[in-house]
Structure formats: structure tokens, C-alpha cells
Amino acid sequence: MKKFTLLVLSLVFVALAVSGCQQPAKRNAAGVLAPDEQMVNLYYLAGRLEMKTSLVTDRKIVLSGGGNNIAIFPKDNYIYFNDKYFGTLGKTKNKDGLIYVRSSLEEQIRKEIVKTTPAITPVIPKTIPKPTKKSWADGEGRIIVIDPGHGGKDPGAISPHGFYEKTVNLDVALQIAGILKDSGFRIIMTRSNDTFIELDERANIANRNNALLFISIHADSCATSGRNGFTVYVAKQAGSSARNLAEAIDRQMTGTGIKSHGTRQADYRVLKNTRCPAVLVEMGYLSNYWEAKQLKDKNMQRKLAVAITNGIINYVNRSKY
């Protein structure tokens, strides 16, 4: 009986510990439970909102980041958002020199950020260049393999909102394939639905079909939620063709408004094992709350597909195939 009680107690403890993890709003900056569960200190709130505290006095605290600033006046009990009155602050507390505010403020501010953050305006040309070689327009050119990363049992990265990388990759890859086909290119997709394909098989599809190019589409993820931007990868031993292709895509993607980390080298299996010039595009960070939202957005997906396609066509038109 005693053993059973112990087991139940330890299960309850584990359950409490787990639920504590899922409610970070109840913790302060040091990760210790805040003295009052409904209150969070301002440094913690700034961290949650991916903002910095740029001014801290007894009367005024300013949080800023992402082009927004929030001025909090604890003594006067009100908040300003981008220099406009936003509302009352509500309950506050000063403990050990730290100012605590209600945790619900985070959600309230997030909603305002969504409303006021301007949408990215693309500078992508509306028209897509046509391939210059007659054989391309006739559908006689060699095949381009488009590889939407992950799929089936492998979701890839998962956004804070709960959607999967495999879906974003497929959505964009299908659009790239569509635009290239319309321009006269022959396309093979490594997957065109939600199925799992081994990495080696993806490279083999390109090799078996004597492909001209291999384009792998992914979205990034990392532990630092603030990190954003796209990266175009080639294998470490990649020749100048793959590097030129990567740079052509990089140049076009900059027009989507997503920050460029440029062209990098990494020995991903799909890059290392393909015989033709191969690139892997990490379109942006799904681990970043805001960027993930953009990557899921249909309009942004179209912009990305057009940019990647334009990069491919520009490269093909300049090369001597």
C-alpha cells in the first residue's frame, strides 16, 4: 500500500512538473516559479515577445523590437503602444527591484503586434522569364527534379502554431513544379503527396533520370526562437554549377523580404549523393513565431515559389546547356 501511495505521489509530482513546463508564463526570468502565479516580470515578458528592455526606471519601462515599442508606466497605470495610448496596465507588483505585471498582458500585446506589423512587400517581377533554349520550350530539355523535404511519418520541423514543415515544403514545391512546367521544363517530383521517401532514394531519382538539376525544398528550425532568414545550401565538394545555381536562387529570394543567410556548404545526403548540380533551400525558420506564420501564408508561398523558379530559369539561361 505504501509503495502504491508513493507511486501515486510521484506520478502527481511528474504531472505537475510537466504541466509547469507547458505554462512558462508562470515562471520568471531565472526559470524559478514567480511568487504570484499570475504575475510575470518585465524582463521575462520582453523575452516572450522577442523584445528588449531599452529603458527601465520606476516610472517608465520601454520594450522594443521588430519595429514596435511598448512604453509601460507602472506608477500611472497605463501602457503606450507605438506612442499611442493602449490601455491600463492593471495590477503590478515591485519585488526585489523587479516590476511584475499580469501575464495576460503578453497575449494582449501579441494581438496588437499582429495588427500593426506591416506585411512584407515583395519586389519579385510579375513575369517569369522564359527559357531561352528552344529545346526547353519544346519540353525536350533534361529533367529538373524537385524534392519537397520530409513527408509521411517524418514531419520535419514543427512551428510554434503546430503546423509541419513537410506540408509547407510540399505546398511550395508543387508551385515551383507548376511554374517550371508552364515554362516548358520537364519535371519529376520526389514526392507529390504526403509520403515518406528515403533520403538516398531522393538522390537516386535524380541520378536514374540523368537530371539536369536537383532542387530540395525545406524550412529551417533551431532552438533560438528569434532566429530568422533563408539559406541556400550546396554540398562541400559542390562544383561551380551548383554554387552558381545557389547564388541565382539566393538573389531572387532576397526579393521576398525574408532575410538572406546567403549560400552555405553542408553535406546533406541529398546534396552529396546527387550527380547533377544540387541545392537545398531552407526557406526560413519555422521555429520563429512570425516567420512560421509567413511561411504558412499562401501569398508568401507563391512569392517563394516564383523567386526560386526565377533563380532556376536565370541560371539555366546563363549556363551552356
Q: Phi first, then psi: what are they for 282, rounded to 5°?
A: -95, 105
**CB proximity list for 270: less than 8 A, separation 6 or greater:** 147, 199, 202, 203, 214, 216, 278, 280
Q: Which is nearer to Zn ion, 136 or 233 (CB)?
A: 233
For Zn ion, the binding residues in 247-306 under the rule CB under 5 A are: none
Q: For Zn ion, which residue of 141, 148, 149, 284 counts as binding (CB under 5 A)? A: 149
Segment lying near Zn ion (by CB under 5 A), choices 52-60, 145-153, 205-213, 225-233: 145-153
Q: Which is nearer to Zn ion, 74 or 149 (CB)?
A: 149
Nearer to Zn ion, 47 or 284 (CB): 284
For Zn ion, the closer CB: 283 or 306: 283
- C-beta of 157: minimal distance to Zn ion in Å? 6
What does the alpha-carbon distance between residue 140 and residue 184 come to, in Å, rounded to a whole number?
A: 8
Q: Which stretch binds Zn ion (CB under 5 A): 65-73, 103-111, 118-126, 152-160?
A: 152-160
Cα separation, 71 vs 82, whole angstroms: 8
Length of the chain: 321
Smallest CA-to-CA distance from 307 within 239, 232, 221 is with: 232
**Does the protein bind Zn ion through residue 141 (CB under 5 A)?**
no
| Residues 200-229 interacting with Zn ion (rule: CB under 5 A) | 218
Q: Candidates 74, 141, 156, 311: give the one binding Zn ion (CB under 5 A).
A: 156
122: contact with Zn ion by CB under 5 A: no
**Can you tell me the distance from the alpha carbon of 208 to that of 206, in angstroms, rounded to the nearest whole number?**
6
Which of these ranges, 39-47, 75-83, 150-158, 292-300, lies near Zn ion under the rule CB under 5 A?
A: 150-158
3-state secondary structure of 129: coil
**HEC secondary structure over 131-181:** CCCHHHHCCCCCEEEEEECCECCECCCECCCCCEHHHHHHHHHHHHHHHHH
The verdict on 151 binding Zn ion (CB under 5 A) reads no
CB of 168 to Zn ion, least distance (A): 10
Asked if 47 is part of the footprint of Zn ion (rule: CB under 5 A), the reply reads: no
Binding residue count for Zn ion, defined by CB under 5 A: 3
Q: Judge contact between 172 and 304, C-beta under 8 A.
A: yes
Nearest residue to 201 via CA among 186, 220, 214: 214
Give the residue with the Cβ less far from Zn ion, 147 or 250.
Answer: 147
Interaction site with Zn ion (CB under 5 A)? 149, 156, 218
